Amino acid sequence: MVLMVNNETIQRLTIDVGKETALLLLGVFSEELNDYFQQLSDLPTILHIREKSHAIKSSAASFGADELAEFACECENRVKMGQDLWVMEQFPRFLGILQETAMKYHDLALRKDLFEND
């Protein structure tokens, strides 16, 4: 099962940069996802979906948003294979995962107790 939020990745980030910086970065990531959501909400072209999928895939993987990263990768690959119909059929699901992930990371960014018990 693919995780929406990979806590191990978030924990590594917190160890690497410190809790305050990690919370700040999670907030920036959430805002970035919201921007992508807005950009993709206006009936994008297949090429626009491919471009945004590529960008989302990379940043989502960096922040442990595994489900989003995997689905973005799948969308990008399907566009490359010329499977535009699949992409358009799955596009509402992609937007849903994108929006839900943005909300989860927004909530994470507000947690002052991030990994205090670990």
Q: Are 36 and 98 in contact (CB under 8 A)?
A: yes
pLDDT at 112: 76
Q: Quote the pTM value.
A: 0.91
The answer to whether residue 51 scores a pLDDT higher than 60 is yes
Print burial letters for 54-87: b (CB count within 10 Å at least 16), e (below 16): eebbebbbebbbbbbbbbbbbbbebbeeeeeeeb
Write down how long the chain is. 118
pLDDT tens sequence across 83-101: 999 999 999 999 999 999 9
Find the mean pLDDT for residues 104-111. Answer: 93
pLDDT at 77: 97
pLDDT at 111: 85
**Cβ contacts of residue 91 below 8 Å, gap of 6+?**
49, 75
pLDDT tens sequence across 24-44: 999 999 999 999 999 999 889
The answer to whether residue 71 scores a pLDDT higher than 90 is yes
The answer to whether residue 117 scores a pLDDT higher than 70 is no
> How many Å is the maximal CA-CA distance in the chain?
48
Q: Are 105 and 28 in contact (CB under 8 A)?
A: no
Domains and their CATH numbers in the chain: 18-109 (1.20.120)
